Amino acid sequence: MSKAAIRNAVFPLLGVAVIVIAWQIYTQAFAISRIVLPSPLDILKASAANWDVLLRQSWPTFLESVLGFLLAVVIGIPFAVCVASSRILNLTFYPILIATQSIPKVAIAPIILVWFGLGMQSKLVIAFLVAFFPIVVDTAAGIRATPPGLLELARSLRASPLQIFLKIQFPAALPFIFAGAKVAVTLAVIGAVIGEFVGSVNGLGNLLLSANSQLDSPLAWAALVWLSVLGILLFAAVAVAERIVMPWSDTARH
Amino acid sequence: MAAAALKDANNGAAASPGSFPFGHFKNVHQSFAQAGRAPLVAIENITFDLAAGRLVTLLGPSGCGKTTFLKIVGGLMSASSGTIQINGRDVREPQPDFGVVFQQANLMPWRTVLANVLFPMEILGRNDAAAKLAAKELLALVGLEGFEQSYPSQLSGGMQQRVALCRALIHKPKLLLMDEPFGALDELTRMEMQDLLLDIRRKTGATVMFVTHSISEAVYISDDIIVFSKRPAVVADHIAVGLPYPRTSEMRYRAEFTALEHRAGRALGITR
């Protein structure tokens, strides 16, 4: 590992360590009730004691987030392509998209539960709805930001619209698409948890709520930590995919 | 070997001039409509002929319409009126058998150097093993051997422009259109690229139309210089350079060279 790589790994960990230690000292020094604020050690103990429950409850939340995110990618990218390449489609659908985006997702979650039930489907739909917007907006921006010089080059060779899209516009939009996907994947986890809060039979959000109602704060916090780890892992997966799909951006950095 | 193959494919244009000139431009006029105002006349009247295998430079001040004229010749823009003929045929739309080099290298950052050079062949559906070999030979010709698998971001500006030159040549174009291709490069790289262009021209026999606003660049590389006046453009002078090839940097200090620069400067109205 290079000096820079070590530095890039050490300092974020140091930041976390400082907060965790300060937190531990604070809860012990002031004898804070573990119901109000469990110490990091309490959370760690709860996490270790309930690791099988946490792992089992992570699975549905993981599936809801990932499937909702993938659905947003599969539907969002073609939608953005249509909106970015046709003035008429843009005028017809873009205002609706903005309008739906301004509806708070927490507010429509109960309605979606009525439509899709207490199972996984309703959470998947909510995750999809929150992930859809950043993917569409960034993909459309990326396609519009295609360097005009490349389009002129393609025109000079009389490239077909399909060739121009596949060989120029889409690859040119990839950095934007991945920027949108990174935002979307973390939002998808939030969407899934909102769904679980409103009504569910399992998932980390469900576990968090039930632990909270039993005043088992260490377990509720443990569920919260697992949720953020889940979000970080999904974000990292998208970042890895970005490096694999766009090797050129990696070489640009070094 | 690469050069011979390229020359053959150039339709023997340089060797056998037909009854008509290779390029024929007559009374080319371009004006743009402006809302609520009189139309903007970019090109008043440009008339000249271009013989096959020649390197002609369009020299003029910034914004004089020389780039517009180059785009018209390339079929990327249509003229308001006038005759634009290449090989006796009217040019009305982009011509895939022309090569274009822009001021910016315009490489695709997601493609390797080799894949960038092969881009025209992909579009034209001729991306075979022979094309790959030709691309490698062209890259070697411009001194980029060993950089085939590099990405553009790993290259300097001069190297990127060399890749762009290879890309413009890969499909053996009848006419190479160059729009201030060395304008963004530093002086030394620019002189190197001028020599490289002349070397490639000698090896491929390509006909070249080159836009610049540098008087010394125009005199150094050209067979002919068409001096554009300020907008609306007319031909202010048509200079047959007449210096022998290969040109060398020492020539820049010769009396004939400076006399030609002086003549171009007078046509541009910057010296008396």
Range B2-97+173-268: architecture per CATH: 3-Layer(aba) Sandwich (3.40)
Q: Any idea which of B16-20, B27-31, B103-107 has the lowest mean pLDDT?
A: B16-20
pLDDT category, A4, cuts 50, 70, 90? confident
> Looking at the predicted structure, is the pLDDT value of residue A48 above 70?
yes
- pLDDT of A106 reads 87
- pLDDT of A132 reads 94
A193-231 residue pLDDT tens: 999 999 999 999 999 999 999 999 999 999 999 999 999
pLDDT category, B116, cuts 50, 70, 90? very high
Residue B257 near chain A (CB below 8 Å): no
- pLDDT of B35 reads 86
Residue B97 near chain A (CB below 8 Å): no
- pLDDT of A250 reads 64
C-beta atoms surrounding A61 within 10 Å = 28
**How far apart, in whole angstroms, are the C-alpha atoms of residue B101 and residue B84?**
20
**Residue A125 three-state SS:** helix
A60-95 residue pLDDT tens: 999 999 999 999 999 999 999 999 988 899 899 888
Which of B72, B78, B123 to mutate to test binding with chain A, by most A CBs within 10 Å of its CB? B123
Domain positions in chain A = 1-31, 38-253
Question: Could you give the C-alpha distances from B263 to B50, B222, B238, in angstroms and in order?
Answer: 21, 14, 10
pLDDT category, A98, cuts 50, 70, 90? confident
> Looking at the predicted structure, is the pLDDT value of residue B9 above 80?
no
Q: Which spans in A86-169 are helix H?
A: 87-101, 105-116, 120-144, 148-156, 161-164
A137-175 residue pLDDT tens: 999 999 999 999 999 999 999 999 999 999 999 999 999
- pLDDT of B6 reads 47
Q: What is the DSSP string of A151-184?
A: HHHHHHTT--HHHHIIIIIHHHHHHHHHHHHHHH
The conformation of residue B254, written as its DSSP 8-state character, comes to S
ipTM value greater than 0.85: no
Using the CB atoms, write b or e for A213-244: b if 16+ within 10 Å: eeebbbbbbbbbbbbeebbeebbeebeeebee
What tokens does A245 get?
A: 């799909």
Average pLDDT, chain B: 89
Report CA dihedral (B140, B144, B146, B151) to the nearest 10 degrees. -140
Domain positions in chain B = 2-97+173-268, 109-172
pLDDT category, A120, cuts 50, 70, 90? very high
Q: Any idea which of A106-115, A210-219, B17-26, B186-195 has the lowest mean pLDDT?
A: B17-26
pLDDT category, A252, cuts 50, 70, 90? very low
Answer yes or no: do A157 and B120 touch at CB < 8 A: yes
Task: Give the mean pLDDT of B123-129.
Answer: 93
**How far apart, in whole angstroms, are the C-alpha atoms of residue A68 and residue A109?**
14
What homologous superfamily does CATH list for A38-253?
MetI-like (1.10.3720.10)
Give how far A139 is from chain B: nearest CA, Å: 17
B130-173 residue pLDDT tens: 999 999 999 998 999 999 999 999 999 999 999 999 999 999 99
Task: Search chain A and give the residue with CA nearest B110.
Answer: A248
Give how far A137 is from chain B: nearest CA, Å: 22
Answer yes or no: do B76 and A248 touch at CB < 8 A: no
User: CB-CB: which of A156, A168, A171 is closest to B100?
Assistant: A156
Residue A159 near chain B (CB below 8 Å): yes
pLDDT category, B8, cuts 50, 70, 90? very low
User: CB-CB: which of B76, B119, B153 is closest to A251?
Assistant: B153
**How far apart, in whole angstroms, are the C-alpha atoms of residue B256 and residue A111?**
86
> Looking at the predicted structure, is the pLDDT value of residue A25 above 70?
yes
**How far apart, in whole angstroms, are the C-alpha atoms of residue B99 and residue B201?**
13
- pLDDT of B62 reads 87
A178 vs B34, residue with greater confidence? A178
User: CB-CB: which of A153, A248, A251 is closest to B100?
Assistant: A153
pLDDT category, A1, cuts 50, 70, 90? low
B36-54 residue pLDDT tens: 888 899 999 999 999 999 9
Give how far B75 is from chain A: nearest CA, Å: 8
- pLDDT of B19 reads 53
Percent of chain B with pLDDT over 90: 74
| Angle made by CA atoms A203, A207, A211, in degrees to the nearest 5 | 175
- pLDDT of B12 reads 39
- pLDDT of A247 reads 86
Chain A CB contacts of B104 under 8 Å are: 149
The conformation of residue B222, written as its DSSP 8-state character, comes to -
pTM here?
0.83
**How far apart, in whole angstroms, are the C-alpha atoms of residue A231 and residue B243?**
70
